[in-house]
Structure 1
Amino acid sequence: METKYFLEFNTRSPPIAATQEFFKTLYCTMAFVDLEDHGTLALTAAVVVLTTIALILGSKRIHRITKSRAARQKIDELAANNKEPNEAPTVSSLFVHPVKSLRAVSVPSAALDELGLKGDRRLMIVRPCPSTASATTDEKTATHRFVTQRQFPGLTSIEASLPSTTTETNNMTIITLKSSAVPGSQVNIDVSEETLKAHKQRYRAGIWDDVVTVVDVGDDAASFVKNVLLAVDECGQEPFSGFENIRVVSIVPDVTVRKTPEEYIPPEAWTVAGSIPNVALTDGFPILVACEASLNELNRRLQQKGKPPIPMSRFRPNIVIRNPGGRPFEEDQWKAIKIGDNTILHMVKGCPRCKQSCTDQLTGERFEEPIETLADFRALGKNKEDVYFAQNAVFHGGSGSGCQIKVGDTVSVLSYGDPVWDLDPVQAE
């Protein structure tokens, strides 16, 4: 008796394009298989699957997948067997930045996804590049360039709410912008996935060396930001001309793809498919971790000079850790940490600091410190002008989806290693 077996698949579900192509090929060649023996069918299919995957993905990708799996297992074992000391470090603060370079939002807890803390730096402000760049269709050429407090310290006056979905907004997901510089004025931005995907105006935005696809969220948001900057009469280091056409943009779900710098990512942080993890609109990595003991040491040095202490907000971290009795800057040697029950982060590189760290995050006023004092003892990169505070981090297995962290969570250091600084001199913007 002849039996036919139909092989079904969903081409949208494989995590990498090569796997998707494999399934397409397999479907075309084995859509119907006429075999009497179920066992022979299973064995034949398995051989075809493994052989085709190896041919398509190549030995390099297979090696990455197996290497990543072995590395993750080692960290998982450390996490499972870890015993907390009597005075373990804890999470003391959490911050989300809904719009890049606008004011941070302190939160008691945060859900995580593959891009970092949910809602962190998913929108940003951009300005057009010269018309010659805007006219090209080359996907690697930016049509717009990111705008930050480095050019406009007055951006600190703008508060951006966390994304909120309520019946009052017809179940749209809204971020609200408001500023003390324009009292009584505010603007709502619909960041619902279907709305963002429906927007037609898209740009190629440059963030440092990366170029990513973003969507314009509308004239109202752009006008609001421009009016705030005009109200505070703040042009930073740039003339306002050239910035009059600033726009507010967002990542596009399933469209915007931006990878973390591969040279810093350990195998434990690769995805199960052996890919480098993604990042949103941060300066390069999904998470920034800072420690109170390090800030205390910096403030001690500032006060020795007769200068006032500074708050942690100057460094715009996501996670702040309190370690009773901990040494200043011991986080430089942390390689893997566990937060709460199931969140594991890999500390990959120190964070270089720029003039944005010298900007008061409430007033927009800019000072010489803390860069001058950090230069006394934290000039650690190849370029001795590069100074460091806090650590960039990535997720174990390339994603934090399904995890949640909260203030008060215990932090366990799972492994230690040598500090890592930038391989090349840090760019200025």
Structure 2
Amino acid sequence: MPILTELNLYPVKSCAGISLREATLTAAGLMSEHIYDREWMVVDAQGNYMTQRDFPRMALIAPRIKADTLELRAPGMLRLEVPLGLPDPEDEKTLAVRIWDEELKAYDCDEVTATWFSKFLGVPCRLVRFHAEAKRLANPKWTEGVEAPTLFSDGYPMLVISQASLDDLNGKLQAQGRPALPMNRFRPNIVIGGVEAFEEDYAASFNIGNAVLKPVKPCPRCPMPAIDQATGEVGPDPLDILQTYRVNPKVDGGIAFGMNTILLQGEGQLLKVGQDIELTLAF
């Protein structure tokens, strides 16, 4: 029987995640204590989004949700407390930011926060928060016209991977004398156990309680799985193995691992690790 084995929230895009025992489902992705997945993002001096692809040390920035702040820690840095309350509309400072080819309005965090990130990452940068008036939708080509909102994710509200898929990859790596990789290299929101390797690729839906999640697009992988999430160091890259059997013509020959997923039904439902999942295949 398929089972929910992991829930992961990433409050700040491309920074470390938070492993959860339970999380709330929303159309825009997972939420915990009113904090959404990828609600914050680091941008450069021109407002362009920054990720581990170019700044692998971002993996070392670890968030923790407290009562009224988002606490951030990083090696060699004093902890940073980012207020969770939204600014008063009359006093808010905003910034035009860019993620991929989209420009959005975002809340601009304060100078203390900007200095903290700039010092740790070694370049001028700022932390921004998704604005209440901003709107960003997943590509309707893949969602079949369903309006699926997302915040600062790469493009879809949730990423689902099965444990068996990672086990399959690790078996191939170990056969070459290479170490197994942890799941956090691939940064999923939801991990499923009790299915065959890559069975998520062929799912029409994941039914969890009264919720219906629909996988819509294979996730083409960038070089980020080469980054050790515990050290921020690069290498070795598993893509050389994945490219031998995970090239997917549906995403223009990209190396696919995991399924981008949207919510069709179940807004506000609480997910818990250990819940049963009904996986419906698309054939």
1:407 aligns with 2:277: no
Look up the match of 1:152.
55
Secondary structure at 2:261 match in 1: strand
Aligned ranges for residues 280-359 of structure 1 at < 5 Å?
Answer: 280-323=151-194, 326-339=195-208, 341-359=209-227
Contact 2:211 2:267 in 1 (8 A): no
Secondary structure at 1:161 match in 2: strand
Q: Pick the aligned partner of 2:81 from 188, 204, 217.
A: 188
- Distance verdict in 2 for CA 1:199–1:293, change over 3 Å: farther
Measured in 1, the distance between the counterparts of 2:191 and 2:90 equals: 37
1:210 aligns with 2:102: yes
Aligned ranges for residues 96-245 of structure 1 at < 5 Å?
Answer: 96-118=9-31, 119-129=36-46, 144-162=47-65, 164-165=66-67, 173-182=68-77, 185-193=78-86, 195=87, 197=89, 199-230=91-122, 243-244=123-124
Q: Pick the aligned partner of 1:393 from 252, 261, 270.
A: 261
Q: Pick the aligned partner of 1:263 from 122, 141, 155.
A: 141
Secondary structure at 2:248 match in 1: coil
Look up the match of 1:277.
148
- Distance verdict in 2 for CA 1:395–1:198, change over 3 Å: farther
Deviation at 1:413, TM superposition (A): 1.3
Contact 1:94 1:319 in 2 (8 A): yes
Look up the match of 1:238.
none
Structure 1 alignment gaps of length 5 or more: 1-87, 130-143, 166-172, 231-242, 271-275, 418-429
Secondary structure at 2:244 match in 1: helix
Higher percent of residues as helix: 1
TM-score, normalization by structure 2? 0.93
Higher percent of residues as strand: 2
Measured in 2, the distance between the counterparts of 1:356 and 1:204 equals: 26
Counterpart amino acid of residue 176 in structure 1: E
TM-score, normalization by structure 1? 0.62
Deviation at 1:368, TM superposition (A): 3.5
Measured in 1, the distance between the counterparts of 2:91 and 2:221 equals: 35
Q: Which has the larger radius of gyration?
A: 1
Contact 2:60 2:231 in 1 (8 A): yes
Contact 1:294 1:328 in 2 (8 A): yes
The CA deviation string for residues 53-107 of structure 1, in whole angstroms up to 9 with x for no partner, is xxxxxxxxxxxxxxxxxxxxxxxxxxxxxxxxxxx11011110001001101100
Secondary structure at 1:365 match in 2: coil
Contact 1:102 1:156 in 2 (8 A): yes
Look up the match of 1:379.
247
The CA deviation string for residues 219-252 of structure 1, in whole angstroms up to 9 with x for no partner, is 111111122224xxxxxxxxxxxx42x1100012
Secondary structure at 1:320 match in 2: strand
- Distance verdict in 2 for CA 1:197–1:391, change over 3 Å: farther
Q: Pick the aligned partner of 2:131 from 226, 232, 252.
A: 252
Structure 2 alignment gaps of length 5 or more: none
- Distance verdict in 2 for CA 1:198–1:344, change over 3 Å: farther
- The percentage of aligned residue pairs carrying the same residue is 30
Question: Which of 1 and 2 has higher RCO (CA within 8 Å, sep 6+)?
Answer: 2
Secondary structure at 1:300 match in 2: helix
Contact 1:111 1:403 in 2 (8 A): yes
Deviation at 1:187, TM superposition (A): 1.2
Deviation at 1:289, TM superposition (A): 0.4
Contact 1:196 1:217 in 2 (8 A): no
- Distance verdict in 2 for CA 1:199–1:265, change over 3 Å: farther
